[in-house]
């Protein structure tokens, strides 16, 4: 398997993922789960968390040299933050158990890196991703997949890979705001 970065934009209803190889090949995925009503059982919630976590970790392969996960959006007022945190920790724990180094990027950092401003809209991020990787058909992907591609782009830049980095490398200062693993733990 070709060495690659795996990025995960985790959620309960929808999650996006992307991989990026050093030679610029990008693949994306979107996973959705049905909504649970207000009377959902504890088993149903736990199963939904398990399904999303299993899907995300299942994307990691022997070629995954670094996983990047979007950090929690503490200011978010929607969804089920407790359950989303369960998915996040389940994924991070399993990746670390498989000895895959993990980087954590705050949503503001990802947006700032790829779109130039930390409060960029989902559409701004999608447009910036498509512009950063022309000819890859990324203008048609979901916002969750675009976030994952943006995280892959951050990681590839941090790793020093060649790529279509941003005009004037405006994203470099944003990279310093991320929680990166020790470089020695990342095989490159």
Its pTM surpasses 0.95:
no
CATH number of 179's domain: 3.30.420.10
Give the single-character DSSP code of 142: -
Residue in the structure block whose two tokens are 């498989």: 98
In percent, the amount of the chain with pLDDT more than 90 equals: 67
Strands 64-70 and 4-9: parallel
Give the total number of structural domains in the chain. 1
Q: How much is the average pLDDT of 177-188?
A: 90
pLDDT in tens, 42-90: 899 899 999 999 999 999 999 999 999 999 765 555 557 788 889 999 9
Residue 167 in this model has a pLDDT that exceeds 80: no
Which residues constitute the domain of residue 139?
A: 4-185
Beta strands across the sheet bearing 26-32: 26-32, 14-21, 4-9, 64-70, 102-105
């Amino acid at each position: 398997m070709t060495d690659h970065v795996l990025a995960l934009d985790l959620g309960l209803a929808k999650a996006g993922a992307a991989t990026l190889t050093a030679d610029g090949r990008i693949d994306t995925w979107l996973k959705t789960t049905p909504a649970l009503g207000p009377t959902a059982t504890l088993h149903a919630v736990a199963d939904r968390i398990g399904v999303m976590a299993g899907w995300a970790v299942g994307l990691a392969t022997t070629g995954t040299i670094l996983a990047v996960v979007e950090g929690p959006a503490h200011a978010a007022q929607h969804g089920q933050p407790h359950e989303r945190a369960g998915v996040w920790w389940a994924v991070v724990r399993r990746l670390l158990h498989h000895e895959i180094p993990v980087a954590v990027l705050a949503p503001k950092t990802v947006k700032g890196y790829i779109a130039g401003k930390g409060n960029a809209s989902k559409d701004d991020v999608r447009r910036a991703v498509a512009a950063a990787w022309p000819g890859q058909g990324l203008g048609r992907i979901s916002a969750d997949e675009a976030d994952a591609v943006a995280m892959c782009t951050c990681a590839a830049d941090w790793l020093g890979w060649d790529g279509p980095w941003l005009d004037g490398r405006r994203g470099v200062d944003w990279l310093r705001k991320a929680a990166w693993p020790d470089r020695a733990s990342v095989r490159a």
